[in-house]
Structure 1
């Protein structure tokens, strides 16, 4: 039980205090793709750590927990879980029920979102077919007769870009191509799927600050990542002027990022930093738990 409790403590620490650190790192100039990976991997680490803690409580004899604690040090037996046997069944039952309830909420929320997304896709594809448009490109574009500057994309198997005639009339050819490149980047990067996962987790597990703030962070970072991709092909000034003309979401943050950061491809050190930081983010809860257990083992021997 002690091992599960320490792992759960690591999950709580990371889940409650990592959003502020991740926000500072994101504002510090790292690429949007790197920041996005760190946010998502931290959330995955918290979920995996919480599930692991529950499994240690539910499994008979807490699975590998006794063997792990014996490896740490013989002195650890003095503070082992065997001194509180009556708590084990109660804690395991409560933890298992909590996981089943959370999984059920997650499944219902995910199913509802998929149903709404499928309906939206079907309506757009019907319009595309009825309009007689035969676009052989991998990602077809549906032009709608609207005077407002509209541009968005739909991901999934039948991905689609939707743009308005008003957008084409308001932007120059170069700006319009930058906007379409931005939407292509959303589809290629599977940003719609990432946002959907983040929103489902945030809606289901709102009591965890990291997961509550995850949807907003992911929505912003996918926009920055798409801006970066568009700027790499069409120039940051073109993307900036297109944003000013269309007044897209989070425009002030996106304009500031375009002004302060390069739009070039990720350099090798940046990729190394992304992988190293992502690995640390994923393993943060068990690493914190292992550090606490090792420290407790040393202290118990003094």
Structure 2
């Protein structure tokens, strides 16, 4: 029972306290890709730990087996004088039922979100296609005869970028290229799909701060990550002036745009941030973030139970 309890307790604590820890990290001075991985894998870790802990409640050995966990299990058994097997089975079945219902709710909401956004995207693109000229690049870029400098992207097939002629009228060629590089980074990173996933998770499971706060954090981080990708190609100064030129213009629902939210923070990152991390350093940072967040629920729960055992065992003589 101890391993199952550690996973469930760790999932709850991680889901409750992780946002406060991640929000203390200044995204303007941190690799946004690693921070984005941390938010996403923290959510995955909490979900995986919850499911694994619930399943272990129904397993014959409850997942106990390691030396440390066996000691903790014996100590906690001495404190509680044991738990009736039927109660454990009942708790496991109830947990499985609850997890199954929440999983079904999450799946339904994801499908609803995806269908609604696909329908909205199709309607927008059908309207835009009649008025736009299209180039042959990949992803394709549709140019609209509109004076305001704007660009946004849709996750449609291999991706579509919609840009206005106002970009070329008001921005330099390098700045236009930086704006398009930003949008290509959104499509390459599958940022539209990531946002759909975290939005659905927040709606399905809003009772944990991690899930509730993930959408706003992820939206900011994908913009910062796209900015960094553009900086690698065109330099921070060019990206900064391009961002100032396109900021504040509205874009359709379901799109991502360089002129979207968090402009002040992004400008600070472009002004005060250092050079973008190299590929090897970026991969290492993302791998460390992934390893930390996926194992955090297990280690958190085990640490709490071990602390309780250390304090309580002398009192019980175990």
Q: What TM-score, normalized by structure 2, do the two folds share? A: 0.84
- Gap regions ≥5 residues in structure 1: none
Q: Label 1:107 to 1:274 Cα distance change in 2 as closer, same or farther (>3 A).
A: closer
Q: Is the 8 A contact 1:195 1:215 kept in 2?
A: yes
The answer to which of 104-113 and 222-231 deviates more is 104-113
Q: Is the 8 A contact 1:149 1:246 kept in 2?
A: yes
Distance 2:144 2:281 in 1: 43
Distance 2:177 2:153 in 1: 14
Could you say which residue in structure 2 is the equivalent of 1:181? 181
Structure 1 residue 40: deviation in Å? 0.8
The answer to which of 181-190 and 115-124 deviates more is 115-124
Q: What TM-score, normalized by structure 1, do the two folds share? A: 0.88
* Matched residue SS, 1:143: strand
Deviations 1:141-182 (A, max 9, x none): 111233333211012534100112233322222211111110
* Matched residue SS, 1:141: strand
1:98-247 aligned at under 5 Å gives the runs: 98-127=98-127, 130=130, 133=133, 135-247=135-247
Could you say which residue in structure 1 is the equivalent of 2:273? 261
- Gap regions ≥5 residues in structure 2: 248-258
Could you say which residue in structure 1 is the equivalent of 2:92? 92
Distance 2:120 2:142 in 1: 14
Deviations 1:119-144 (A, max 9, x none): 24433554576568563322001112
Deviations 1:232-275 (A, max 9, x none): 11111111111111212211011011111124343645543332
Q: How big is the alpha-carbon RMSD for the aligned residues of Structure 1 and Structure 2? A: 2.7
Structure 1 residue 16: deviation in Å? 0.7
Structure 1 residue 278: deviation in Å? 2.1
Structure 1 residue 191: deviation in Å? 1.1
Deviations 1:175-224 (A, max 9, x none): 11111110011111111111111111111111110111111111000000
Deviations 1:49-97 (A, max 9, x none): 111122123x253x54254589623844535784343532442343223
Distance 1:103 1:42 in 2: 17
* Matched residue SS, 1:185: helix
